[in-house]
Amino acid sequence: DAKTTQPNSMESNEEEPVHLPCNHSTISGTDYIHWYRQLPSQGPEYVIHGLTSNVNNRMASLAIAEDRKSSTLILHRATLRDAAVYYCILYNTNAGKSTFGDGTTLTVKP
């Protein structure tokens, strides 16, 4: 299975943009890149996903490198409620299962 690598932790100031990186150098052509986040004592929450092109939704933007070996989740204006563990996941079309990375713990400072 293709694996993802994320920094263990990152800090951000409130109302500033946050760029969360993810490396997936062994990604296959059928792997979708998903991002989820998890708050304490809750199940993961879907954030965004993409295959090749950059994606935007109301929560965040996803920038995918041209060679697809890395991606960046962008939170445009971090709020205290964005403090969570962010997981970058490869979801394979053929195998149909998700491979979770270790996640990045995002701390947002007021």
Partner 1 sequence: KAGVTQTPRYLIKTRGQQVTLSCSPISGHRSVSWYQQTPGQGLQFLFEYFSETQRNKGNFPGRFSGRQFSNSRSEMNVSTLELGDSALYLCASSLDGQPYNEQFFGPGTRLTVL
From the list 4-12, 14-22, 66-74, 94-102, the region that binds partner 1 by CB under 8 A is: 94-102
Q: How many residues bind partner 1 (CB under 8 A)?
A: 25
Residue 45 sits in the site that holds partner 1 (CB under 8 A):
yes
Q: For the chain, how big is the Rg over CA atoms in Å?
A: 13
Phi-psi sector, 103: left (phi>0), alpha (psi -120 to 50), beta: left
Cβ-based nearer residue to partner 1, 13 or 52: 52
Cβ-based nearer residue to partner 1, 1 or 14: 1
Residue 55 sits in the site that holds partner 1 (CB under 8 A):
no
Within 8 A by CB and 6+ apart from 18, the residues are 10, 12, 74, 75, 78, 82, 106, 108
